[in-house]
Amino acid sequence: MRRITDNWPPKKSEEPDTALFENKGVAPLPSVNPYVKNFFKKKQKELTAQECLKGIFAGNTSILGRAITLVESSLAEDRVIAKQIIVGCQEHMRKSKMKTMRIGITGVPGAGKSTFIEAFGGYITSGGHKLAVLTIDPTSERSKGSILGDKTRMETLANDPKAFIRPSPTGGSLGGVSRKTRETIVLCEAAGYDVVFIETVGVGQSETVVHSMSDFFLLLMLSGAGDDLQGIKRGIMEMSDLIAITKADGSNAEKAEGAKALYAGALHLFPPTDSGWVPTAVTSSAVTKKGLPEILKKIEEYFKLVKKNGYYEYRRREQAKYWMYESIDEELRNKFYDNPAIAEALQKYESKVLAGKVDSFLAAEKLLELYKEQEETQSSGFTKERK
Ligand code: GDP
């Protein structure tokens, strides 16, 4: 097969004979106003952790956005400031005693998540709450295009002064993305957002991650999708505190009522929840706004119950414990894979394992041994330096 590079560069005498060659084109014109270029070049002044915290506590969304960017960064110097910001925000929340509501929302693509969040979010902010909407989109990494982020979503809510929308960073492992989302929740709460929606697309493991960082879990379902439960795993239904059948309007209204009864029945078959809450199903429409007051009522009832019976605090602490282990795992994994000697050896062992020359367990053992040696050399280097 002929490749583009076979003929490249073309000989002067010879015209390229394939449409895959590009004409040389013309050089770009010089900038009309060179000052404009310099203006855009000017770097924003970097903020200290104290400046970020001051801005966040004052509810300054531009500073909040910049602080979240620091939290999302994997640069070592950004991580240092990010940690100070997170700790500062956590302390602020402890002192304020504000009891925030973290609501996980999931559903298959097309279930109506963004339309629902737009309508329900507006309903919540008009009731006096400040709402932050964060998304975890596991599809963005795999498909290089995201299910949640590609379209213009939630335009009205984006212009609502009481709402703050932040899509999760694309790329990186689910573990990394979820760590960043969890830290972002803390920053948003410190900025006065008492309700946080954490949205994810219900097609993989991200629902479990979202569940592990929310107090209440809302599953959005379409009616009339049959018994296959729309690819939603049984486990996801089991961890839901409320199922809302979406698009219950027009000719779909009746079908939605049928689905509601079906899911309500299915929920009864699950064992009782630890929180003492009895999950139910409702119908809703983002178009007619039907069901939105009922959903808010259910959420408020839930929080009243769990704050009273202590489950709210218990669950938050359990989640904190879970995230402590997750952070350790992530830190260790990053340290291992970021080590240059390991990166080199990994390639070697990977091809050996693939060629069937080395057993996988043995390869793992050798790599871990190498890592241990690396760590030891590094720490003895430090000791020498200190002396
Ligand atoms: P997502 O992929 O889960 O975020 O789903 P979208 O919010 O993008 O909705 C998918 C489609 O369903 C869009 O064409 C919406 O206009 C439509 N839709 C969403 N909610 C409703 C609703 O309550 N009623 C009706 N009739 N259509 C809706």
CA distance 233 to 231: 6
Q: For ligand 1, atom 7, name the residue with the nearest CA.
A: 112
Residue 331 exposed, middle or buried by CB count within 10 Å (0-12, 13-18, 19+): exposed
Q: What is the pLDDT of residues 291-312, one digit of tens each?
A: 999 999 999 999 999 999 999 9
Cβ 249 under 6 angstroms from ligand 1:
yes
> How many whole angstroms separate alpha carbon 357 and alpha carbon 360?
9
Dist CA 182 CA 212 (whole Å): 10
Q: Which residue has the higher pLDDT, 43 or 249?
A: 249
DSSP lists the bridge partners of residue 166 as: 134
Q: How many CB atoms lie within 10 A of CB 177?
A: 23
Binding site membership of 150 for ligand 1 (Cβ less than 6 Å): no
Nearest CA to ligand 1 atom 17: 112
Region 34-58 average pLDDT: 78
* Whole-prediction pTM: 0.81
Q: Which atom of ligand 1 is nearest to the CA of 285?
A: 23
Name the band, by pLDDT with cuts 50, 70 and 90, for residue 1: very low
Q: How far separated are the first and last CA of the chain, in Å rounded?
A: 64
- The 3-state DSSP class for residue 81 equals helix
Q: Distance (Å, rounded) from C-alpha 244 to C-alpha 221?
A: 6
Q: How far is the CA of 118 from the centre of ligand 1 (A)?
A: 11
Q: Cβ(55) to ligand 1 under 6 A? A: no
Closest ligand 1 atom to residue 117 Cα is 7
The residue length of the chain stands at: 387
Which of 108, 113, 114, 115 is the best mutation target for the ligand 1 pocket, counting ligand atoms within 8 Å of the beta carbon and taking the most? 115
pLDDT at 242 over 80: yes
Res 289: pLDDT: 94
215-253 as b/e: b if 16+ CB within 10 A: bbbbbbbbbeeeeeebebeeebbebbbbbbbbbbbeebe
Residue 33 phi, psi (nearest 5): -125, 100
Residues 71-95: tens digit of each pLDDT: 988 788 898 999 999 999 999 999 9
Task: Provide the pLDDT for residue 75.
Answer: 83
Residue 246 alpha carbon to ligand 1 centre in Å: 8
- Tell me what the pLDDT averaged over the chain comes to: 84
| Cα 374 to Cα 376: distance, rounded to the nearest angstrom | 5
Which residue did the predictor score with more confidence, 288 or 139?
Answer: 288
**Poorest-pLDDT segment among 169-173, 204-208, 275-279, 356-360:** 169-173
